Amino acid sequence: MAPVHYTVPGLDEKAATATIEILQQRLHALNDLALTLKHVHWNVVGPNFIAVHTMLDPQVDGVREMVDDVAERIATLGGSPNGTPGKLVAERSWDDYSVGRADALAHLGALDLVYTGVIGDHRAAIETTEELDPVTQDMLIAQSGELEQYQWFVRAHLENSDGDLSSAGARTEVQAAREAGA
């Protein structure tokens, strides 16, 4: 990562650099999530097609706004956000979404795991930025609330009347898709 030559008033360059590194990973995760949501939107089939298809577009739009906010925060802190596909693939710690054309419940089961990963990493970033930059932390907190609501929308399709998720305990997207669709 290139050194910062300036940052916001009241934040030293060391804290800015650490915050930028955290935000760059969040940028990668959110860009990947937006693309994954669109992939699901295009590849969902079956009886619940229209419900899931139309539910996902507002989520895509919301996540894309988060991407923009994170990138602009990186720039505000004196960094240079990198949203290129090559950089995302080179720096991510997860694999591509693994479900292609599938029924709505299968995709939602897999998507629940995707949201769990993104939200968990956002929460970890919230903890880390507490001491570094409360403005960035506040942005991540707000985004986490939205992401949690999106996951709730997904989980509502997977939940039975007892509150159990059909894909509970799945460790992979393929396993979650299989269990949710069963």
Tens-binned pLDDT, residue by residue, of the chain (182 aa): 777 889 999 999 999 999 999 999 999 999 999 999 999 999 999 999 999 999 999 999 999 999 999 999 999 999 999 999 999 999 999 999 999 999 999 999 999 999 999 999 999 999 999 999 999 999 999 999 999 999 999 999 999 999 999 999 999 999 999 999 76
Q: What is the pLDDT of residue 4?
A: 85
Give the whole-angstrom CA distance, residue 98 versus residue 57.
20
User: Is 5 within a domain?
Assistant: no
Q: What is the pLDDT of residue 2?
A: 72
User: Is 68 within a domain?
Assistant: yes
User: Is 26 within a domain?
Assistant: yes
User: Is 91 within a domain?
Assistant: yes
Give the whole-angstrom CA distance, residue 81 versus residue 68.
10
User: Is 4 within a domain?
Assistant: no
Q: What is the CATH number of the domain that holds 166?
A: 1.20.1260.10
Domain that holds residue 110: 13-181
Structural domain total, the chain:
1
Q: What is the pLDDT of residue 5?
A: 85
User: Is 70 within a domain?
Assistant: yes
pTM score, two decimals?
Answer: 0.96
User: Is 85 within a domain?
Assistant: yes
User: Is 1 within a domain?
Assistant: no
Which structure tokens are listed for 79?
């960094």
Q: What is the pLDDT of residue 126?
A: 98
Instruction: Judge contact between 167 and 176, C-beta under 8 A.
Output: yes
Q: What is the pLDDT of residue 94?
A: 92
